[in-house]
Amino acid sequence: MNGQPKIAILGYGSMGKEIERLARQKNIIVTNIFDIDSPLEPEGNYDFDIAIDFSYPDAVINNLKMIAAMKKSMVIGTTGWYDDMDEAGRIVDDAGIGCVWGSNFSLGMQMFFRIIRQAARYMNKLDNYDIMLHEMHHARKKDIPSGTALTLADIILKEVDIKKNTAVQHNDGIIGPEALQVSSLRGGEITGRHTAYIDSYSDSIELTHRAKNRSGFATGALSAAVWLHGKAGFFEFNEVLKGIWGE
């Protein structure tokens, strides 16, 4: 399918407004904006190809069901809904539509995922280093820890043999060497900060990704929508980037 997709925005908070702003710069048409005061209606007759969802975790599956019933496609930037991943995949496959989801649509964060994977492989060859994660976000963020932190944790668990499980938030007692500690902080207007600490008796390495604003997430979501246009299937955002990085 040729041409730019027509876009709808689900959720008109800070992310929705940034997507609208950048879409205008990229000459991508936004035909509809849905929020609490102007909700997506199951019987609505809408002129868009792909909806970009940055709403709320509890709304994702219901939004996807409505989009699938319309035979339109969807990019899911909302996090915190991953317990329903299997159901989302079934909805997409049954409807024959396209869907891209991701814990983080920042291209810089996608590079960071790869940096952490390589760093974890290096430390896995040594027996005197430990690894931990810490993430910080603004006070309004719904999910804790962040979906990005959980993705980073999954990468580390796959690469570091000693780490068998994730310990999050408040933990009583000593954290055993088999647990990957993931801590979180909420407050202020922090857009997003994720740090991996690789520590030993003799030295320490800190690898940090800081989101300066929301434009990186919006750029990635729009790139995913353009890539998805005309495709069917349930894709993780990493699939969009494989062509860019020759993977």
Question: Could you list the active site residues?
Answer: 137, 141
User: How far, CA to CA in Å, does 247 sit from each of 114, 219, 228, 239, 243?
Assistant: 12, 21, 18, 9, 7
Q: Which of 190, 199, 225 is nearest to 23 (CA)?
A: 225
Element containing residue 12 per DSSP (H, E): none
Contact of 160 with 174, CB cutoff 8 Å: no
Q: How many residues does the chain have?
A: 247
Q: Position of tokens 């020759």?
A: 246
CB 17 within 8 A of CB 35: no
Nearest-CA neighbor of 20 among 44, 52, 48, 55? Answer: 52
Please provide the DSSP assignment of 65-80 as one string: HHHHHTT-EEEE---S
